[in-house]
């Protein structure tokens, strides 16, 4: 296994150590009203997931690569995980990640256009492809529209209909649900914040203000950690679907490359920031697959605080190698782990829901 076989030169002892076809059968007016209400509610779940993305002890060493095959640029991580705050321009980003645009037809509309991002770390390569499909705006229109608006989006996105139950579970895990779990409920974002808090004080003292902002380490941890959990718990396809729904709506030019000068120069919210998120999503999915295999995670797995601590500490080891920073380890008795392990079990067993 690529992730588990890597041997890092980083000194971890320096510190105490994220239907397929929709069939709509109308039997009566009452039946139509019932289905419409349920679809209306379901689109709220999809929208909540999209908005969440916007808010986009182990002895082995879970790293995803060795060294980059692209040119190394001083100050920019080149071992998988990326920090958008380290890039100063789109041209600089393209020296690290290969960006390609495609158009499969000669029609004037851009429905056939897609972008392919390729990030290579020696023998390990991740590819993110974003093409035409449903986005947040489509689900918002369906939520506010009539039955046929909802049905149309359902037909365009049979994957969402087929995976409705798991999408609901992800939405609960991705949001703080105080009504369900009480005050202090933990969501994916809270895990990312805990990772930031675990960074070594010596390293933090040397970090820039931008790296410590929401667009720095926190954003990188949030995307990779959440995508890793979604992949480990469910599937890479589900994690990818949730990410794409958001990215398509955030900046339509991501698929075509037809950016305005302002979108290219806006590092925090323009092309660079969104492409960095897309690449980090892919590394998160790779990490999730490796950890799922290592810990034999299934949808029936019982999450103990000990298992969760091992999972997150492996994740921290990857971040340590990729970003060259130290962490203090998670402990099973940490309140954030105790709470999130309980939430994971309740959600995965279907004990809570809508």
Report yes or no: 171 and 48 within 8 Å, Cβ to Cβ.
yes
Predicted structure pTM score: 0.80
Which tokens hold the place of 284? 């998160």
Is the pLDDT at 56 greater than 80, yes or no? no
Is the pLDDT at 1 greater than 70, yes or no? no
What pLDDT was estimated at residue 342? 97
Decide which of 330 and 62 is more confident: 330
What pLDDT was estimated at residue 133? 85
d(CA 306, CA 323): 25
Q: How confident is the model at residue 9 (pLDDT cuts 50, 70, 90)?
A: very low
Per-residue pLDDT tens over the stretch 239-297:
999 999 878 877 889 999 999 999 999 988 899 999 999 999 999 999 999 999 999 99
Per-residue pLDDT tens over the stretch 178-227:
999 999 999 999 999 999 999 999 999 999 999 999 999 999 999 999 99
Is the pLDDT at 52 greater than 80, yes or no? no
Portion of the chain with pLDDT greater than 70, in percent: 76
d(CA 327, CA 160): 37
What pLDDT was estimated at residue 109? 59
d(CA 204, CA 211): 9
Average pLDDT over residues 13-41: 37
d(CA 47, CA 80): 29
How many CB atoms are located within 10 Å of the residue 349 CB? 11
How many CB atoms are located within 10 Å of the residue 260 CB? 11
DSSP letter assigned to residue 245: H
Is the pLDDT at 136 greater than 80, yes or no? no
Q: How confident is the model at residue 8 (pLDDT cuts 50, 70, 90)?
A: very low
Per-residue pLDDT tens over the stretch 93-121:
999 999 999 987 655 556 788 999 999 98
Average pLDDT over residues 296-302: 96
Share the mean pLDDT of the chain. Answer: 81
Is the pLDDT at 28 greater than 60, yes or no? no
Per-residue pLDDT tens over the stretch 152-170:
878 888 888 888 899 899 9
Question: What is residue 85's three-state secondary structure?
Answer: helix
Average pLDDT over residues 22-49: 44
How many CB atoms are located within 10 Å of the residue 103 CB? 13
What are the two backbone dihedrals, phi and then psi, of residue 112, each rounded to the nearest 5 degrees? -95, 0
Question: Can you spell out the DSSP letters for 171-209?
Answer: HHHHS--HHHH-TT---HHHHHHHHHHHB-HHHHTTS-T
Is the pLDDT at 53 greater than 80, yes or no? no
Q: How confident is the model at residue 137 (pLDDT cuts 50, 70, 90)?
A: confident
What pLDDT was estimated at residue 50? 53
CA 84 to each of CA 63, 75, 94, 345: distance values in angstroms, whole numbers, following the listed order = 20, 11, 13, 34
What pLDDT was estimated at residue 251? 86
Length of the chain: 354
Is the pLDDT at 62 greater than 70, yes or no? no
Domain ranges for the chain, please list them.
2-348
3-state secondary structure 295-351: CCCCCCCCCCHHHHHHHHHHHHHHHHHHHCCCECCCCCCCHHHHHHHHHHHHHHCCC
Task: Please report the sign of the dihedral spanned by the C-alpha atoms of residue 39, residue 45, residue 47, residue 49.
Answer: negative
What pLDDT was estimated at residue 272? 96
What pLDDT was estimated at residue 169? 94
Task: Please report the sign of the dihedral spanned by the C-alpha atoms of residue 172, residue 177, residue 182, residue 186.
Answer: positive
What pLDDT was estimated at residue 17? 33
């Amino acid at each position: 296994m690529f992730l588990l076989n890597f041997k890092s030169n980083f000194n971890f002892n320096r510190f105490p150590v994220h239907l397929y076809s929709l069939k709509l059968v109308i039997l009566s007016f009452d039946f139509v009203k019932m289905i419409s209400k349920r679809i209306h509610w379901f689109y709220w779940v999809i929208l909540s997931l999209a908005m969440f993305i916007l808010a986009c002890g182990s002895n082995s060493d879970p790293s995803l690569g060795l060294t980059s095959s692209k040119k190394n640029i001083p100050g920019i991580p080149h071992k998988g995980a990326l920090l958008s705050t380290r890039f100063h321009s789109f041209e600089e980003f393209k020296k690290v990640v290969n960006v390609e645009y495609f158009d499969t037809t000669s029609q004037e509309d851009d429905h056939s256009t897609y972008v392919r991002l390729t990030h290579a770390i020696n023998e390990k390569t991740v590819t993110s492809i974003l093409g035409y499909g449903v986005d947040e705006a489509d689900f918002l229109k369906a939520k506010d529209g009539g039955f046929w608006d909802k049905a149309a989006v359902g037909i365009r996105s049979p994957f969402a209909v087929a995976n409705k139950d798991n999408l609901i579970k992800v939405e609960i895990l991705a949001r703080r649900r105080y009504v369900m779990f009480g005050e202090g409920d933990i969501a994916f974002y809270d895990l990312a914040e805990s990772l930031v808090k675990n960074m070594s004080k010596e390293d933090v003292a040397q970090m820039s203000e931008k790296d410590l902002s929401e667009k720095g380490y926190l954003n990188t941890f949030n995307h990779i950690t959440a995508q890793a959990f979604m992949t480990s718990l469910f599937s890479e396809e589900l994690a990818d679907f949730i990410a794409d729904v958001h990215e398509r709506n955030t900046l339509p030019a991501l698929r075509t490359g037809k950016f305005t000068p302002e979108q290219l120069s806006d590092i925090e919210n323009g092309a660079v920031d969104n492409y960095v998120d897309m690449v980090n999503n892919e590394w998160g999915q790779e990490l999730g697959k490796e950890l799922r295999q290592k810990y034999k995670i299934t949808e029936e797995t019982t999450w103990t605080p000990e298992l969760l601590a091992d999972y997150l500490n492996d994740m921290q080891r990857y971040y340590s190698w990729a970003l060259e920073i130290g962490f203090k380890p998670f402990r099973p008795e940490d309140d954030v782990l105790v709470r999130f392990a309980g939430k994971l079990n309740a959600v995965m067993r279907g004990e809570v829901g809508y």
